[in-house]
Amino acid sequence: AQSVTQLGSHVSVSEGALVLLRCNYSSSVPPYLFWYVQYPNQGLQLLLKYTSAATLVKGINGFEAEFKKSETSFHLTKPSAHMSDAAEYFCAVSTMDSNYQLIWGAGTKLIIKP
Amino acid sequence: DTGVSQDPRHKITKRGQNVTFRCDPISEHNRLYWYRQTLGQGPEFLTYFQNEAQLEKSRLLSDRFSAERPKGSFSTLEIQRTEQGDSAMYLCASSLSLAPRSTDTQYFGPGTRLTVL
């Protein structure tokens, strides 16, 4: 069965610092991987997705993620944090074994310190 | 394209009452999903429709929950005899699926927050 682990329920970084949000997945078949962001009182918005093309995926708002099969990871990064990046971030995996349904991590709340 | 909308945004009800939520997907999208999200957790899949057909339901979905998409456009999710454990955010998402088995980008609505007293 597929699963997603997001390390750290809360991550705090200073404005201008590197953002690194960790996601590890478990799957015996090739995965599709997603990062979504959820701002307070809003729905989830797709940041980026990996669908077996380039392993380095660029998304919106300056975020990117790299698929590393050997590490079963899909960590999300941004070189320089902005105050507006404060939100909750969710990693999700989808495979043929899950009938292509999204299996979600528990989320990481990103806190930006001024 | 006005995005996915959900109504109401908030619902407070007493235990034992029935509630119904509505979701209006993006107009050309043929798939519609319902999820439940509790605090500190990711969304939990409930069910999804391809046009008007309900193709999959989570094993976790109690028989008190029922969803419909009668004309393949908007959908309703009804919870009968609500319990305090039903308190959660109910999310709707839609996508355009061009293949029978595919991973589409899902677009989410703002959710309906249910509080059962």
Shortest CA distance to A111 belongs to which of A91, A90, A84?
A84
Reported as a pLDDT band with limits 50, 70 and 90, residue A61 is very high
The span from the CA of B41 to the CA of B13, in Å, is 23
Contact B40, A9 (CB under 8 A): yes
Q: Choose, out of B5, B103, B108, the residue to mutate when testing the contact with A (most A CBs < 10 Å).
A: B103
Residue-wise pLDDT for B57-78, tens only, equals 988 788 999 999 998 899 999 9
Per-residue confidence (pLDDT) for residue A57, from 0 to 100:
95
Per-residue confidence (pLDDT) for residue B1, from 0 to 100:
54
CA pseudo-torsion sign A32, A38, B34, A104: positive
Per-residue confidence (pLDDT) for residue A63, from 0 to 100:
97
Residue type, B9: R
Cβ count within 10 A of residue B1: 8
- Of the candidates B44, B101, B108, the beta carbon closest to that of A100 is on B101
**Interval A14-43 mean pLDDT:** 92
User: Does B44 sit within 8 Å of A43, measured CB to CB?
Assistant: no
User: Does A94 sit within 8 Å of B111, measured CB to CB?
Assistant: no
Identify the residue whose tokens are 């995926």. A57
Residue A27 per-residue DSSP state: -
Percent of the residues in chain A that have a pLDDT greater than 90, as a whole number: 77
The span from the CA of A62 to the CA of A108, in Å, is 18
Identify the residue whose tokens are 């009182």. A41
Contact A54, A66 (CB under 8 A): no
Per-residue confidence (pLDDT) for residue B101, from 0 to 100:
61
State both tokens at A37. 């962001």
Percent of the residues in chain A that have a pLDDT greater than 70, as a whole number: 100
Q: Which residues of B touch A105 (CB under 8 A)?
A: 42
Residue-wise pLDDT for B8-59, tens only, equals 999 999 999 999 999 999 998 999 999 999 988 899 999 999 999 998 898 8
